[in-house]
């Protein structure tokens, strides 16, 4: 790689103790020191985004080169904090300011708009209705825009890490369902794979369709066809096509039941003018506030993640046991003990 002296590294970690993040950071640190031949290079080539300056200094980064963000900001809500530094470098300061403006616009809408016209409130109420009154356990997020291919994965963390709880704010166990499962893929890819289950499966799945009136890459009539498919899917889910309608069109009595779609399956469609940084910001904030609305109705805390913390603590302990020359006595359950021993036995074997 040319001009190694110009390569910067950004290490983003709130606590600066997360194992995976630090493992990657130490690998980058070792590469930098080896390539430049000087430990002092770390202070010149690394910056941190964190809320713990003492841990940053222990790593070797000057705390003056640390971008601070508040320790009460959860990771899934942090893209508009200093954690967004790498995003800003990737898209430029002007576009990042537009992203922040979109987030702020939705914040203001949520704060000041009457409930009956408040988008996050309406989306949150629909979510509660679907889960607690219709018994829906899954939501498919279906953006008809390839640039949003990772948006469903982002929402998985935002929604399920926030509202995947079974205890109320008062410490009592809930006696109702909370967060559904979020998943999805861009359209029309999903139409040729899992939409079959959404239309005719035995489980109700709510759908969020997301589309844009203007294409970022206009080419012929492709975008018109894309949006036609988006609108058609919502119509098909809502109204379906009954068995008698297929028979009236000539389908045989044997085939008609297989072609019938019951309809009455819930979906929402968000159709914005154009996908740009401002619109993306409003879209992210819309879901953030919707998650908060649902959490308040379910009387749970959408800002903690103790289940995640339990897994981290166990992983740290197991990693130590794996690294030991001799494992000694393992104190996990029989299944975990067996897996640790098997991994230790085979991890160094080369085919």
Active centre residues (catalytic):
161, 192, 312
Cα–Cα–Cα angle for 15, 20, 23, rounded to 5 degrees = 95
Query: Could you tell me which residues come within 8 angstroms of residue 208 by beta carbon, excluding any fewer than 6 positions away?
Result: 139, 140, 141, 142, 184, 267, 268, 269, 270
Residues in the chain, overall count = 351
- E strand or H helix at 209: strand 206-212
Residue 234 neighbours by CB under 8 Å, 6+ apart: 207, 209, 267, 269
CA–CA dist 322, 338 (Å, integer): 12
> Which tokens go with 234?
């919502």
What number of other Cβ atoms are within 10 A of residue 225's Cβ? 11
Residues of 77-96 as b/e, b for ≥16 C-beta within 10 angstroms? bbbbbbbbbeebeeeeeebb
DSSP-derived secondary structure letter, 161: I
* Bridge partners for 272 per DSSP: 212
For the chain, report the end-to-end CA distance as a whole number of angstroms: 31
Tell me the torsion sign for CA atoms 30, 32, 35, 40. negative
């Amino acid at each position: 790689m040319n001009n190694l002296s110009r390569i910067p590294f950004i290490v983003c970690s709130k606590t600066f103790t997360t194992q995976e993040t630090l493992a990657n950071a130490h690998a980058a640190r070792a590469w930098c020191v080896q390539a430049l031949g000087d430990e002092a290079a770390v202070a010149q080539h690394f910056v941190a985004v964190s809320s713990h300056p003492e841990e940053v200094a222990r790593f070797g980064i000057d705390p003056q080169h640390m971008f601070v963000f508040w320790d009460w900001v959860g990771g899934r809500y942090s893209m508009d904090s200093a954690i967004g530094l790498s995003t800003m470098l990737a898209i430029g300061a002007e576009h990042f300011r537009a992203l922040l403006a979109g987030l702020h616009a939705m914040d203001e809408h949520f704060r000041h708009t009457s409930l009956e016209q408040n988008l996050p409130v309406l989306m949150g109420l629909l979510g509660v209705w679907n889960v607690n009154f219709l018994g829906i356990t899954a939501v498919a997020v279906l953006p008809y825009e390839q640039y949003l291919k990772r948006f469903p994965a982002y929402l998985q963390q935002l929604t399920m890490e926030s509202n995947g709880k079974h205890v109320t704010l008062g410490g009592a166990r809930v006696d109702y369902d909370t967060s559904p499962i979020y998943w999805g893929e861009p359209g029309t890819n999903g139409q040729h794979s899992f939409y079959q289950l959404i239309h005719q499966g035995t489980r109700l799945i709510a759908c969020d369709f997301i589309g844009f009136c203007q294409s970022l890459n206009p080419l012929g009539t492709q975008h018109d066809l894309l949006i036609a498919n988006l609108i058609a899917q919502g119509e098909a889910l809502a109204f379906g096509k009954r068995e008698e309608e297929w028979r009236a069109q000539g389908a045989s009595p044997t085939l008609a039941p297989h072609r019938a779609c019951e309809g009455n399956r819930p979906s929402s469609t968000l159709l914005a003018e154009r996908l740009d940084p401002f619109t993306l910001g409003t879209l992210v904030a819309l879901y953030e506030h919707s998650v908060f609305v649902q959490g308040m109705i379910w009387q749970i805390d959408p800002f903690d993640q103790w289940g995640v913390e339990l897994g981290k603590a166990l992983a740290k302990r197991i990693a130590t046991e794996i690294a030991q020359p001799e494992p000694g006595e393992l104190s996990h359950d029989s299944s975990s003990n067996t897996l640790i021993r098997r991994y230790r036995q085979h991890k160094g074997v080369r085919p």
